[in-house]
């Protein structure tokens, strides 16, 4: 069973490392570069996996897990890397990367972006497996809902036995809100990220959330899986876990801040 308190405390420290640079243990840094549909995030851990520093930037350079604006992605990774190097007063030379499960075709593009920014790529993971480095569960399913996709990793006996990914994510929720309120995408995105409006918007986006639960339903064997572990920025949505629980009939757990779980898990595997 996952220790939720441990996960919450750890991810909280990663969150704090956006504004506070923590003193590292040892000299080696472990870096995770998460190229996402909505955000690009770089997390730096020390050699004992303690959070050291973190930088992120909203980005529109990927679609459905695929890099559609190479130079845009490259410039953002360079910018975030430079900021972190300035904060740490050292050069960051190696990193791990991840991508939605099953998008092998984009491994090269992701790698080129990281390399173009001056990193040597030491490991390439899939997102839900990276997230499980934080959760450390042996049995169950890790569901990572980002901006563009819903990915899942099914675990049995401590091993990932299946990974899947489908193109439905937070961007689709924003599109539904934009249509509902007749407002531009950017405005809808702001409403979606405003926790005080989550109660109001949940019924509006319910059908999309049910579609996401349906993706999980399709791939899991309910006689084998008894817990769903949520992560990814979209899971910040208050009440999403209730929809999953209702639609799948499986207990659903989410950490306090699901957003930084995957990028931190990537860094752990550098
Ligand atoms: P992908 O993994 O699909 O390529 P990504 O890595 O950019 O995308 P994340 O960074 O995990 O995905 O999540 C981004 C999504 O999370 C966006 O759609 C964003 O709108 C959503 N999001 C972020 N904060 C919140 C919030 N407070 N409430 C609701 N949704 C949020």
Residues 148 and 243 in one domain: yes
Cβ of 37 below 6 Å from ligand 1: yes
Cβ of 234 below 6 Å from ligand 1: yes
Beta-carbon contacts of 139 under 8 Å, excluding residues fewer than 6 positions away, are 155, 156, 157, 225, 226, 227
Residues 152 and 207 in one domain: yes
- Give per-residue pLDDT as tens, 59-93: 989 887 788 899 999 999 999 999 999 999 999 99
Question: What's phi and psi for 95, nearest 5 deg?
Answer: -155, 165
3-class DSSP assignment, residue 190? helix
Strands 227-231 and 140-145: parallel
Residues 163 and 231 in one domain: yes
Conformational region of residue 176, where left means phi above 0, alpha means psi within -120 to 50, and beta covers everything else:
alpha
Residues 120 and 136 in one domain: no
Ligand 1 atom closest to residue 195's alpha carbon, by position in its atom list: 27
Give pLDDT, residue 106.
78
Rounded Cα–Cα distance for residues 38 and 61 (Å)? 8
Residues 84 and 141 in one domain: no
In the chain, % of residues over pLDDT 70: 99
- Give per-residue pLDDT as tens, 131-178: 999 999 999 999 999 998 899 999 999 889 999 989 899 999 999 999
Looking at the structure of the chain, the number of domains it has is 2
Beta-carbon contacts of 89 under 8 Å, excluding residues fewer than 6 positions away, are none
pLDDT at 184 over 80: yes
pLDDT at 101 over 80: no
Q: Cα of 259 to ligand 1 centre, how many Å?
A: 7
Q: What is the CATH number of the domain that holds 163?
A: 3.30.420.40
Residues 40 and 78 in one domain: yes
Name the residue at shortest CA distance from atom 17 of ligand 1: 147
Residues 170 and 233 in one domain: yes
Residues 106 and 191 in one domain: no
- Supply the ipTM of this predicted assembly: 0.98
Residues 13 and 108 in one domain: yes
Q: Cα of 234 to ligand 1 centre, how many Å?
A: 5
Residues 105 and 160 in one domain: no
Domain containing residue 198:
131-253
Residues 242 and 168 in one domain: yes
Mutate to test the pocket of ligand 1, among 233, 239, 264 (most ligand atoms within 8 A of CB): 233
Q: Cα of 148 to ligand 1 centre, how many Å?
A: 8
- Give per-residue pLDDT as tens, 27-68: 999 999 999 988 999 999 999 999 999 999 999 898 877 888
Mutate to test the pocket of ligand 1, among 18, 33, 38 (most ligand atoms within 8 A of CB): 38
Residues 174 and 121 in one domain: no
Beta-carbon contacts of 5 under 8 Å, excluding residues fewer than 6 positions away, are none
Q: Which residues pair with 126 in a beta bridge?
A: 99
């Amino acid at each position: 069973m996952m220790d939720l308190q441990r996960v919450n405390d750890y991810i909280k420290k990663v969150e704090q490392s956006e504004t506070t640079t923590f003193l590292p243990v040892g000299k080696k840094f472990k870096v995770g570069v998460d190229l996402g549909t909505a955000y690009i995030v770089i997390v730096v851990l020390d050699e004992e996996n303690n959070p050291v520093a973190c930088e992120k930037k909203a980005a529109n350079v990927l679609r459905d897990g695929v890099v559609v604006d190479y130079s845009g992605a490259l410039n953002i990774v360079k910018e975030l890397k430079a900021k972190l190097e300035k904060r740490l007063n050292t050069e960051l030379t190696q990193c791990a990367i991840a991508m939605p499960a099953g998008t092998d075709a984009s491994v090269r593009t992701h790698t080129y972006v990281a390399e173009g920014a001056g990193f040597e790529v030491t490991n390439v993971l899939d997102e839900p497996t990276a997230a499980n480095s934080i959760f450390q569960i042996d049995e169950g399913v890790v569901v990572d809902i980002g901006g563009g996709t819903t990915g899942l990793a099914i675990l049995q006996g401590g091993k990932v036995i299946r990974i899947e990914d489908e193109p439905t994510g937070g961007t689709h929720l924003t599109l539904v809100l934009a249509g509902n309120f007749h407002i531009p995408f950017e405005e809808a995105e702001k409403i979606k990220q405003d926790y005080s409006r989550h109660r109001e918007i949940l019924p509006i986006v319910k059908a999309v959330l049910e579609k996401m639960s349906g993706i999980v339903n399709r791939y899991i064997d309910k006689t084998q899986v008894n817990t769903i572990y949520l992560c990814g920025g979209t899971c910040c949505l208050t009440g999403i876990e209730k929809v999953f629980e209702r639609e799948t009939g499986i207990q659903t757990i989410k950490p306090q801040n699901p957003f930084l779980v995957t990028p931190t898990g990537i860094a752990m595997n550098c």
